[in-house]
Structure 1
Amino acid sequence: MDSVRVGFSPRLWWVDAFIGDNARGNPAVVVLLEAPLDSEVMQQIAFELGVSETAFLRRVRDAWSLRWFTPTVEVDLCGHATLASVHVLSAELGVPAGEITFLTRSGPLSGRRLAAGLVAVDLPRSYLEELEPTALGTALGPLREVWQAGPSSVLAVVEDYETLCGLRVDALELFAIPASLVVVVCAGAPDSDLALRVFAPRLGLAEDPVTGSAMCALAPWWASRTGQPTVSARQASARGGLMHARLFERAVEVAGEARTFFSGDLRV
């Protein structure tokens, strides 16, 4: 059971994750807790902050409890807010840049700081099951391929980068698709191996700016096409983002750059 504690001021950091050339990344707020906080209070904080994901960190012996909230719901996995948490712990709080372990609803996850300013997190890989190209109806227009990516995500492949960028979707039509994440991808982009857009109306997000957890499906998909375990990806959202991934047997290492935009204190 969660504990309720009010009248204290946890620190927070606003971090832009997966930034790069012509890419502003995805904002996440990382909140450092000294004690457990009631889930309802965490949800209220996430709603007030209004970013796509708010991460709540709390030290638990040699690891860190990590929970993620959109403005409307707690989620089981979030790549960019986990990357932001590694950045805060290593760059802002002086935690050694080696392996950092997080205890999450998706099980233990690890992260680290790499060379050349990159931060990396290990996320569970998705196993893909091919569906009929018509499985998603007309919400995304004509599709080359459709894949089920775990219990809560679908992967839709479009013809090319121009088609991806020109995609106009109806949130109500997307909501009818039984998936939390709808990942739309094409091979080839101006400066990366592939490009993607991600829609998540069931999580309260019309379009996600940058989605690290999408690489859990995209890295295996790319490897099945090319035989290559590494892939670079540009998220073609309004903010834009750059990600790098490496496929392992049971995990995908997702890496990118992050920077702190501002920090402060919360009044709870």
Structure 2
Amino acid sequence: MKYYVVDAFTDQIFKGNPAGVCVVDEFPDTSFMQSIAYENNLSETAFVVPRDGYFDLKWFTPELEMDLCGHATLASAYVVHHYVNPGLMEMNFHTLSGILNVVKKEDLFELNFPARISEKIDSFPLIEEILGAAPIELYATRNQVRTRYYAVLAAEEQVEQFVPDFELIKKLPQSFGLVITAKGSSSDFVSRFFAPHAGVNEDPVTGSVHCTLIPYWSEKLGKNKLLARQLSKRGGVLYCENLADRVSIGGHAVLYLEGNLQI
């Protein structure tokens, strides 16, 4: 099985978010793909199946299959553009979240994703305990089984200096993770994302949470084009645009590894 590791949302090796990309003729059994993702031990492993004019795409964390992933989609587009169909400038990926379009524009890959609007929560004592104080605002997005919480803090420094207690974060009921965000100083907004339930303590750069952050900060800041930074140890930069019911998320990518899985 052809295998690549791509650092996404960065133009420097060892930065951004590394994603595994497996190129296959057909999807293997789900449990087999999950085993590969567990063995790879990256926040996401993508599986790409080239079709006639489009690509099927699935994503797995070490613990579960995802319905949407930004950085592994960017990594998959990078692999398609450079190795699967060299020079291809526009790609359509068929996924659990519908058809996702990716366009290569100069040195950026631009992802067109569905916007995910959050609902406001008045208070949540456990999140206040996790943060050490009440956030300015608190929001959540939900699917049938999981909730992702978004805590808005007063300053970028609070996001950067936050020390997570992962065991406490795991106590959030039916949760997929916790996002903390604030208005940025050298960017429009910043964030960090913690998902210990999915086997990912802190995700370095997370495209999917920006499906919610972009509409939020677009409204707060009164602008549709936004520069975002994720303040993990590896760090990453996202070039964002609010498109009403969709969002555009642009990023760079660099290749770390090309090889074969012996399975």
Paired letter, 1:123: F
- CA shift for structure 1 position 64: 0.9
- Structural mapping, 1:226-245, within 5 Å: 226-245=221-240
Paired letter, 1:59: P
Cα pair 1:79 1:211 within 8 Å, conserved: yes
**What do the CA deviations read for 1:170-204 (whole angstroms, capped 9, x no partner)?**
11211122331311101013x31111100011111
- CA shift for structure 1 position 130: 1.3
Matched, 1:184 2:174: no
Name the % identity.
Answer: 33
- CA shift for structure 1 position 20: 4.3
In the alignment, what sits opposite 1:4? none
- CA shift for structure 1 position 21: 7.2
Matched, 1:146 2:143: no
**Which of 240, 259, 263 is residue 258 of structure 2 equivalent to?**
263
The CA distance in 2 between the partners of 1:243 and 1:197, in whole Å, is 13
Matched, 1:94 2:85: yes
- CA shift for structure 1 position 22: 10
Cα pair 1:22 1:240 within 8 Å, conserved: no
In the alignment, what sits opposite 2:25? 34
Paired letter, 1:256: G
User: Secondary structure in 2 aligned to 1:180?
Assistant: strand
- CA shift for structure 1 position 248: 0.8
User: Secondary structure in 2 aligned to 1:19?
Assistant: coil
In the alignment, what sits opposite 1:128? 118
TM-score (normalised: structure 2): 0.92
Paired letter, 1:236: L
User: Secondary structure in 2 aligned to 1:211?
Assistant: coil
The CA distance in 2 between the partners of 1:81 and 1:170, in whole Å, is 26
TM-score (normalised: structure 1): 0.90
**What do the CA deviations read for 1:80-112 (whole angstroms, capped 9, x no partner)?**
000001111112233453331111111111111
Cα pair 2:238 2:249 within 8 Å, conserved: yes
Instruction: Please identify, of 45-54 and 142-151, the stretch whose mean Cα deviation from structure 2 is larger.
Output: 142-151
Cα pair 2:48 2:58 within 8 Å, conserved: yes
- CA shift for structure 1 position 65: 0.9
User: Secondary structure in 2 aligned to 1:207?
Assistant: strand
Paired letter, 1:147: Y
Runs of 5+ consecutive residues of structure 2 not aligned to the other structure: none
In the alignment, what sits opposite 1:13? 4
Root-mean-square deviation (Å): 1.7
**Which of 159, 164, 168 is residue 169 of structure 1 equivalent to?**
164
Q: How many residues align?
A: 257
Cα pair 2:27 2:47 within 8 Å, conserved: no
**Which of 88, 100, 108 is residue 109 of structure 1 equivalent to?**
100
Paired letter, 1:241: G
The CA distance in 2 between the partners of 1:250 and 1:211, in whole Å, is 19
Q: Which runs of 4+ in 1 moved over 3 A?
A: 20-23, 94-98
Cα pair 1:55 1:67 within 8 Å, conserved: yes
- CA shift for structure 1 position 36: 2.7
